[in-house]
Amino acid sequence: MSRVLGMVWLTFREVWAKKITLGLFVVCTILWMLMAFALNLDIVEGSLTGVRLFGQDTGAPTETRQDEAGNSVTEALSLETFVVTIQAAVAGVGYWVATLLGLFAVAALLPSVLDRGHADVLFSKPMTRLSILSGHVLGVAAVGLLLASYLFGLIFLVMSLKTGYWNFRFLLSIPIVVSMLLVMYGVMVLLAVRTGSSALCLIVTYGLIVASLVFLGHEQLRAQINPPWRSVFVGLYHILPNFAEVTEPVAKLAGIDAVTRWYPYISSLIFGACMYVLAAISLVRRDF
């Protein structure tokens, strides 16, 4: 275990040394400071009476609903609904920000570990290659957890202190963000083991994220595609990670609505697991 922890420490130190992490913490700090200073809420006896953004009064937020007679009724938004709605939106945006920035921060790590001269020393130690890879991935998970906890934790803290409403469901976004970061990092691990190119790792992983945006409209697109290609499209939808679609469960988990569809998340996890298995097989068989 001590050896695996050594790899975790090495990953941490390398991320820190690359200064990118520092940049990420600055970006996250700007985000939560915006939340802390730009958004001012007027709360009177537990009710939201006004919202000011950068000092500008935007008025009290309202919601429109149907009454029993079927008429539209506009009334003031409750504090809880306001907080949860904002947090659901922040969770969705934070999911993208944290994952994209996190992947950028860690893209060069494994190619650096597998670089000749460094790999020779590491793999000559009495550790299996799987232990070395596990320690490295654990290190990346720890970096992701730290980054996501910093971003989501501070936003949660700021909003809760400002409103007095503590929506702990918002924190459930953290494990989803970290796990999706690891799913996408699985692609990087496989490519790093096979090619050693950090540029290729980034291009392909971001490419898959862009492709997942196309799959957002998979039901409409499926109807438009001719039969021979439809199966290919559907197959790709099920095989590739549904990164964009996972935004919905992340936001719903932080909000009021129940998550009705976990499939995109589960299929993405399976995809990630397959990437790690393939990467492990390649690493064990590779000559250095």
Partner 1 sequence: MSHAPQAAFQVSQLTKVYNRGFRKEGVRALESLDLHVAPGEIFGLLGPNGAGKTTLVKILLGLVKPSGGTATLLGHSVSDARARERVGYLPENHRFPGFLTGGEMLQLYGQLAGVSHRDRQRRVPELLDLVSMGRWRDTRIKQYSKGMMQRVGIAQAMISDPDVIFLDEPTDGVDPVGRKDIRDILLHLNGLGKTVFINSHLLSEIEQVCTRVAIMNHGRLAKEGTVSGLTSEASNYRLRCGRIPASIVSDWRLVEDAAEETDDQRTYTAAELELDRLNTLIDILRANNVMISAVERDRQSLEDYFIQVVGRESTP
Residue 236 contacts partner 1 per CB under 8 A: no
From the list 181, 194, 170, the residue with the least C-alpha distance to 251 is 170
- Contact assessment for residue 275 and residue 189, using Cβ atoms and an 8 Å cutoff: yes
Pick one of 6, 61, 153, 196: the residue that binds partner 1 (CB under 8 A): 6
- Residue 22: CB minimum distance to partner 1, A: 13
CB 272 within 8 A of CB 241: yes
- Answer for which of 62, 124, 220, 260 binds partner 1 (CB under 8 A) is 124
- Bridging pattern class, strands 72-76 and 56-57: unpaired
List the one residue from 89, 115, 236, 261 that touches partner 1 (CB under 8 A). 115
Binding flag, residue 261, partner 1 (CB under 8 A): no
Q: What are phi and psi of 70, to 5 degrees?
A: 90, 10
Integer Cα distance of 88 and 113 in angstroms = 38
Q: Which residue's entry shows tokens 């290609």?
A: 229
| Single residue of 56, 116, 168, 220 touching partner 1 by CB under 8 A | 116
Region binding partner 1 by CB under 8 A among candidate stretches 7-15, 27-35, 180-188, 227-235: 7-15
Instruction: Verify binding: residue 25, partner 1, rule CB under 8 A.
Output: no
Q: Does 62 bind partner 1 (CB under 8 A)?
A: no
Q: Which residues are bridge partners to 51 per DSSP?
A: 41
Is 231 among the residues that bind partner 1 (CB under 8 A)? no
Residue position matching structure tokens 């971003």: 151
Judge whether 189 and 137 are in contact, CB under 8 Å.
yes
Establish if 22 lies at the interface with partner 1 (CB under 8 A).
no
Q: Please report, as ranges, the residues that interact with partner 1 according to CB under 8 A.
A: 2-3, 5-7, 9-10, 13-14, 17, 115-128, 285, 287-288
